[in-house]
Structure 1
């Protein structure tokens, strides 16, 4: 029961932050899956990606599209989404070849660099 409640909280938190600031999978779910649920880095990343299989952000996209007067660039969306599929396939193949401890360090370093850049940029 505790695990189900934890999953509910993680899903709600990731969903709210995804709609609010455009983050959810890597920045919210993966660390919580590792540190709260005790999953391995590989399992946490796989679960985070599995959550994205259904169109989880369609209502958030709808809100942004309506609020911006329909200015979402759908051509860019299709290009990025198509290459995202290819890139995620290649990235997952690479990630599964990397030791879990090293992968966790790479993941943490990437998050740290993004955080520093966002905090100190104008």
Structure 2
């Protein structure tokens, strides 16, 4: 691993972590494009890396801060979590069968829809 790669990983990790904790977005929406653009990873590889990177910090530190502030409805979180596990398994199986370019376009389209909704239709 080169020094440039290490520096890019530091920038990507810190940026994604700060933005994830700040605005509550999954780090994937930040990390996946950065992994693809700056590290040259494939879409599949970037998505797998993003999921692997997010597991410990999101599970422990960020959730702890929101829980401490009384901002976690544990009943809803447990239900959504169980469904997320099932959906994540199914989604990852599907993603690995989809062509890289198609997957990139799907990812970009989802980011665009979310951005439009947040910018123009938020209360």
On whether the aligned pair clears a TM of 0.5, the verdict is yes
Alignment of 1:67-106 (within 5 A): 67=69, 70-106=70-106
Give the gaps of 5 or more residues in structure 1.
none
C-alpha contact 2:17 2:27 (8 A) present in aligned 1: no
Paired residue secondary structure (2:56): coil
**Match of residue 7 from structure 2:** 5
Name the structure with the higher helix share.
Answer: 2
| TM-score (normalizing by structure 2) | 0.90
Query: Deviations along 1:79-120, whole A, 9 cap, x unmatched?
Result: 111111111110000011111000000100110011011100
**Match of residue 112 from structure 1:** 112
Compared CA separation, residues 93 and 21, structure 1 to 2 (3 A): same
Tell me the number of residue pairs that the alignment of Structure 1 and Structure 2 aligns. 120
Question: 1:52 Cα shift?
Answer: 2.4
C-alpha contact 1:15 1:24 (8 A) present in aligned 2: no
Give the gaps of 5 or more residues in structure 2.
none
Query: Deviations along 1:19-72, whole A, 9 cap, x unmatched?
Result: 1001242210000000010000000001001112324352222222222xx352
C-alpha contact 1:95 1:103 (8 A) present in aligned 2: yes
**Whole-angstrom distance in 2 between the partners of 1:89 and 1:55:** 20
**Match of residue 35 from structure 2:** 33
Runs (4+) off by over 3 Å? none
**Whole-angstrom distance in 2 between the partners of 1:2 and 1:55:** 24
**Whole-angstrom distance in 1 between the partners of 2:79 and 2:44:** 27
